[in-house]
Amino acid sequence: MVWLYVLFFCSGFPALIYQIVWQRSLFAIFGINIESVTIVVSAFMLGLGIGSFLGGVVSKLPRVPLLCAFGGIELCIGLFGAFSLRLFYLVGIHTARAPQLTTGVVTFALVLVPTLLMGATLPILVAHVVRISGNVGTSVGILYFVNTLGSAVACLMSAKFIMRLMGESGSVYLAAGINGAIGFLAILAYLLRKNPSQIALPGQDDRDRTEPFSLVPLQLHWAVIAAGLCGFISLSYEIVWYRVYSFASGSNARAFALLLAAYLEGIAFGSLFSRPICQRLSGRKAAGGLTAIALFAIAANAISFFVAPLITLGLKSLDLIITLPLVTLSTCLLGALFPLICHVSIAPDHKSGARLSYLYLSNIVGSVSGTLLVGLVLMDVWSIRQISVFLALVGLFLGTAFLATTLRGIRLTGAAATAATVALAITASSKPLFDRAYERMLYKNDYRPTDQFAHLIESKSGVIAVSNDGTVFGGGVIDGRFNISPISDSNWIVRAYALSCFHPRPSNVLMIGLSSGSWAQVIANHPQVDKLDIVEISPAYLHLIPQYPDVSGLLRNPKVRVTIDDGRRWLVRNPASKFDVIVMNTTYHWREHASNLLSVDFLRLARQHLAPGGVLFYNTTWSPEAILTGVTVFPYGLRIINFLGVSDSPIQVDKTRWKNILANYRIEGKPVFDLSRSDHKKRLEEILSLTDTLGSRQPGAQMAMEYADTIRERYRGERLITDDNMGTEWTEVRH
């Protein structure tokens, strides 16, 4: 059987690559706001669940060669994978402007075929192996182990080099090639094999009318509920851990891939460790599996609860990646539950694959429910501390319920009292354990016990923290600062005042990204701006801005209209909108999904929304790739510090016009520059002196302006950012 395990291990490898790439591709089409993310993830998982059910139906058919069916499925997955990105792109062009419900249906339809096929493989192979081994638990355990381990290895390799070196299309072609090889080898093995030794399973022969093995101590409908709860708990914990690692790493793509690898690795080894337990607890000893499930459930949830606070406590002395074994240990215990539940509820007969499909479908439905409830609802009303306590209590309930099936009298009372004590201890200890968790995650080695954020907003869209000096951190990375004064310019707000430097009449402006509202406040009060449209992905900023006097008037400004949406999706859905200037104070180029606003593909989309003479003005965060990409897509460009203005029309810097605008600039009636004061007058001259750096012999100087010609010369040979290569997102993990 070793060769079959190797094939199923390899089958898990392309499945995870597809998930990473397809999700990115669909996010680029439909947006990366929380609603789109939830739709895409749920569509993937539901497809797997339905596929499992259909695979169970196939596994019951006595004349179907299951190994050959597995090979044919792998070939079909590979064929779809090879053409998938092109298909997604073509469908996305015609549906990106559709309503949210339509988007969900289209997304589900796009991934339905491949995920149905992927989900069908486990019950089909379980049925095949059970025909040989005669033991459901060991069959599920080993197959779940090798397949999940293959996915974990794919995560590690994707994080280390696959995504960085091969990009989206190269990764998909690699995955499709692996599927093709697996399918060919499986069918070849079926054609060349001799009849293997096979256990006669009850019900396999039409002449056998006896009841299949009756020694299963857990009825199937209770097992279905338990499998669903396991999926709910496991996926919900992953959401909590993802929030922790995302914030602590600054939303780095590689950090998430490594977290997922640790998560899947634990699930895989948990399945493997359950195998000897299932071997020992066979036949009339199977009832002992109920006690094993109870103990595993209680231990898994007790440890899982402590993962998040232990990670935050350990960041002061440990590297973030070193904390990943905590995730693996927790999910190892969680991963043992599913094979054990299968073992105590499924008889090893000809219907084992079908019954497994019911449990697997329930597990998937539970996982989707966790995504929806925790990701969409609880994240908006509870903190990660409260969610962790809730999940721990649900897990303790599950374990206690299994104990109740095996204990009676005083022993049951004692077990229930112990579970209640553990629940009270977890609840009581949660507050000190999670106290200032985000401060510890952000400051790490520099954290001091006196550090405490002035504001902290946890929502389904992410985590926003504001330090006492007004610095805004979004997702664990500096996102701006509450400052609108170019006199005390702590956030290089001078760049927001530069519109009239390069554009003669910026009356209609689009701003993608709101953050602290400082940039928006400056631009909304620009003397020449008549209308400012703002597209912001997180509504949490709207609750933060009114609390800071410098920017609180922004949301009352009649010029301003704020839309909560993904910026890229908004542009696609509003093709007729044209702007004199599009402004983006873009996040760091290495953050997850940052290339969605820096790529050639996005710049071409933004170009369609520029009025004649319009300029796209955005933050490159000093990335040579981002700078070169901009001046390659557009013929004309101007760098102002680390911002880049690009256009299809010549960009002319007008120092006199800029000086007149700045001298008369008022924010809510208050002059920005008081020219009766010498320090204000001096600062104005310093700002205007930026124009004198044009044509400088030091074109790469930070505090300078520079035209496109010298930029192209200096960064010649740098790679252009595309949706496919994703820029620098898969580089080393940042802290």
DSSP string, 457-476: EEETTEEEEE-TTSEEEETT
Query: Quick one: pLDDT at residue 209?
Result: 39
Q: What is the DSSP letter of 349?
A: S
| Spatial contact of 304 and 391, defined as CB atoms under 8 Å apart | yes
Q: Is the dihedral of CA 259, 260, 265, 267 positive or negative?
A: positive
The residue behind tokens 């092109």 is 86
Interior CA angle at 321 toward 319 and 325, to 5°?
115
Mark residue 626 as left, alpha or beta (left: phi above 0; alpha: psi -120 to 50; beta: remaining). alpha
- What is 213-452's CATH topology? Growth Hormone; Chain: A; (1.20.1250)
Query: Quick one: pLDDT at residue 686?
Result: 94
Q: What is the DSSP letter of 195?
A: P
Q: Tell me the three-class secondary structure of 359-427, residue by residue.
A: HHHHHHHHHHHHHHHHHHHHHHHCCHHHHHHHHHHHHHHHHHHHHHCCCCHHHHHHHHHHHHHHHHHHH
What is the rounded CA–CA span in Å between residue 360 and residue 224? 8
Q: What is the DSSP letter of 674?
A: -
Query: Quick one: pLDDT at residue 704?
Result: 92
Query: Quick one: pLDDT at residue 304?
Result: 92
Q: Is 612 exposed, middle or buried (0-12, 13-18, 19+ CB in 10 A)?
A: exposed
The residue behind tokens 């740098």 is 718
Q: Please, where in the chain does CATH 3.40.50.150 lie?
A: 492-714
What is the rounded CA–CA span in Å between residue 362 and residue 347? 18
| Spatial contact of 197 and 19, defined as CB atoms under 8 Å apart | no
Q: How far apart are the first and last CA of the chain?
A: 44
Q: Is 673 exposed, middle or buried (0-12, 13-18, 19+ CB in 10 A)?
A: buried
Q: Is the dihedral of CA 626, 629, 633, 636 positive or negative?
A: positive
Query: Quick one: pLDDT at residue 286?
Result: 66
Which tokens sit at 683?
């600062």
Cα distances from 424 to residues 90, 304, 318, 402, in angstroms, run 54, 16, 30, 20
For the chain, list residues with pLDDT below 70.
100, 135, 137, 194-215, 283-286, 315-318, 697, 732-735
SS3 110: helix
Q: Is the dihedral of CA 332, 334, 339, 340 positive or negative?
A: positive
Determine the length of the chain: 735
What is the rounded CA–CA span in Å between residue 696 and residue 87? 48
The HSE-up count of residue 377 (CA atoms within 13 Å, CB side) is: 8
- Angle subtended by helix axes 324-345 and 136-157, to nearest 10: 150
Q: Please, where in the chain does CATH 1.20.1250.20 lie?
A: 1-201, 213-452
Mention every residue, 6+ apart, whose C-beta is less than 8 A from residue 537: 31, 32, 33, 461, 513, 564, 565, 566, 567
492-714 belongs to CATH 3.40.50.150: yes
Question: Shortest CA distance to 340 belongs to which of 267, 404, 271, 269?
Answer: 271
Which tokens sit at 206?
């039409």
Alpha carbon 193 to its chain's center: 43
pLDDT per residue as tens digits for the range 397-429? 898 888 887 777 777 788 788 888 888 999 999
Alpha carbon dihedral 503, 618, 471, 689, in 10-degree steps, equals: -50
In the chain, the amino acid numbered 164 is R
- 270 strand-pairing partners: none
Query: Quick one: pLDDT at residue 107?
Result: 77
Query: Quick one: pLDDT at residue 540?
Result: 92
* CATH node for 1-201: 1.20.1250.20
Query: Quick one: pLDDT at residue 205?
Result: 46
